[in-house]
Each structure stands twice: as C-alpha cells, then as structure tokens.
Amino acid sequence: MLPDRQSASGEIDTGAKLACLSCPTSFPEPVRRVDTVETHMSWVFLTDYHAYKLKKPVRLAPFDARTLASRRRYCYQEVRLNRRLAPDVYLGVVALCVDAGRRLRLGGEGVAVDWLVRMRRQPARDMLDHAIRAGTLRQDDVHRVAARLAAFYQAAAPVAIEPHAYRAGFARDVDRNRRTLARRAYGLAPRPVRDLCAAQQALLAARPDRFDERVAARRIVDGHGDLRPEHVCLQPQVCVIDCIEFAGALRIVDPVDELGFLALECERLGGPAAGQQLLRSYGELTGFLHAPQWRRRAETYPGLA
C-alpha cells in the first residue's frame, strides 16, 4: 500500500516512487537486485538485464520536466531519437501506475503517475571508456565505431540553417565557454583561457568561408549531441546511447565537430591514439580528408592525418 504522501497537486510523492522502483518485486520480470544510479536529471534503476530511467521533476533550462505530461513527452522523445543509433537497446516507455488498491506497479492497469524509459542493460565492460581505461581497446574496435557513426551521419537529414546563424552559434558558445572557464571554482589560469577563446573568435571572423562551406554542402545534421566514450558500446553491433532528447538545438552539429569532441574525450581518458584513429578512420570512410582544405589542415594537425 502507498503511504499517504501526496503533493498539493495530488501527485504521488517522489520518495514513494523511488522506494517502489528500488524494490525487486516492482518489475514485470524476475529481478534479484536493483542498483540505483542518480544523475542531475534522472534516476536509473538497473536490474539484472534492463535499465529503467525515471526523469526528475525538475527544471534545468532547457530541460523542464516538472509536469507528468512533460516527463512522458521526454521519455518518448528519448526512445525515438536513441533508436537511430541503438535500436535494440531502447525497448520503449513504461508507465508507473497506481492500481485500485493504491499499490504502485510498473506497467499493468491503473492510473499513470509517472513514466520511465525501458532499456536493455549494456555491460560496463563493453563500453568504450572502460576499454580505454583497461587498455583492451583494439584498432578494429575504433574502426567499427567510425563506420557506425559515418553511416549514421550520412543517412541523417540535413538541417536547414543560415550560414550566419551557424557561425553566430559558434561565437556564442565560445563566449559562454570563456565565461564559464574563468570561474574560480575551476582553478584555471585566466590568460590561456582568454587567449584560446580569442583565437577561436578570430578564426570565425577571418575564415567564415570554412564554416559556410559546410552549411552549403548540407553537412549540418541532427546528430547525437553528447558523444562521449561512456555512451559508445563496443559489442559486435556497435551502438551509441544517451543522445540529447530535451533540446534539439544541442543536436544540430557538423559530424566532424561531434567526432572531434569524442576524440577529445578519448584523450582525456588516456587514449589519445584512439581519438586520432577515430578521426582518421572516419576520413578514410567518408573521403572527408581528401578535400584540399582538409588535407592542408591534416598537415597542420597530424592527429587528423
């Protein structure tokens, strides 16, 4: 039975939902134990073979999941968007219901009081970040990741955007990075941050044609938005999970920009060679590095060669 805890709006208390979802008997399949992982936007409940994600009822702009309807919408968006790169992982959306006896149940009949994304659980040992840290990453693994992403980006519909708006977005991001990295909490020397951001702004001003060419070639697509090693699974069929579902603007990317971010994250984890090979494999698969302007850049930055 539910404890008599409801909000002023009549919603079931979040604590009651968490208690229910932490109990092995609350799930439709046999479960031996439940492990809970909390992020700033969700709780994830890990069972033997599945993962269930419950959105937090919070507002963290542009994420606003304070209402039941918004959480349901975000769940369906997450499944739809992530099936592009992980169709066998994202199984669907399941309701957390209160039945006639005031019992919380995952699925089944009753009044829906929340919604969860149901996923097939991926072994931690198969993730790219684990392979980098463990020193088990093979060249073939990186090539398979590059091939999976190359196919994804080539099949993605181009995003209609004006060249000046695309460049303006970069300028805003650079300025936001400068202000953020200047905070004392990060302990960074201010001058290198200031000089790096100034150099980026100078490139935007001096060579707008480089960015405009990518827009004109219809290379800007609806991508992943958060491409990190911990989101890449190296199972025989490579899959990529956890794209950004709550803000479409954050997924509007040049594939090379997004791959550069993944390469940087590989380097941060101690795998710079993996990041370099990722970019090289992508270039070989797509012909990206055969364009004259990118051959010149590869000569300047050997990591792209």
- In this prediction, residue 289 carries a pLDDT of 59
Q: Which residues contact 216 (CB under 8 A, 6 or more apart)?
A: 163
Q: Which residues contact 130 (CB under 8 A, 6 or more apart)?
A: 124
Q: Which residues contact 230 (CB under 8 A, 6 or more apart)?
A: 127, 128, 129
- In this prediction, residue 101 carries a pLDDT of 83
CATH classification code of 126-304: 3.90.1200
CA–centroid distance for 169 within its chain: 19
pLDDT digits (tens, 9 = 90+) for 193-222: 999 999 999 999 999 999 999 999 999 999
Q: Do domains 14-121 and 126-304 have the same CATH topology?
A: no
As a whole number of Å, the end-to-end CA separation of the chain is 63
User: pTM of the prediction?
Assistant: 0.87
Map out the domains of the chain as residue ranges. 14-121, 126-304
* CA dist list (Å): 90 to 41, 104, 118, 145, 232: 18, 23, 6, 19, 14
Write out residues in the chain with pLDDT < 70, as ranges: 1-11, 289-305
What is 14-121's CATH topology? Answer: Phosphorylase Kinase; domain 1 (3.30.200)
| Pairs from 90-93 (Cβ < 8 Å, separation ≥ 24) | 90/117, 90/119, 90/241, 91/50, 91/118, 91/119, 91/120, 92/117, 92/118, 93/117, 93/118
pLDDT digits (tens, 9 = 90+) for 69-111: 999 999 999 999 999 999 999 999 999 999 888 889 898 789 9
d(CA 237, CA 19): 35
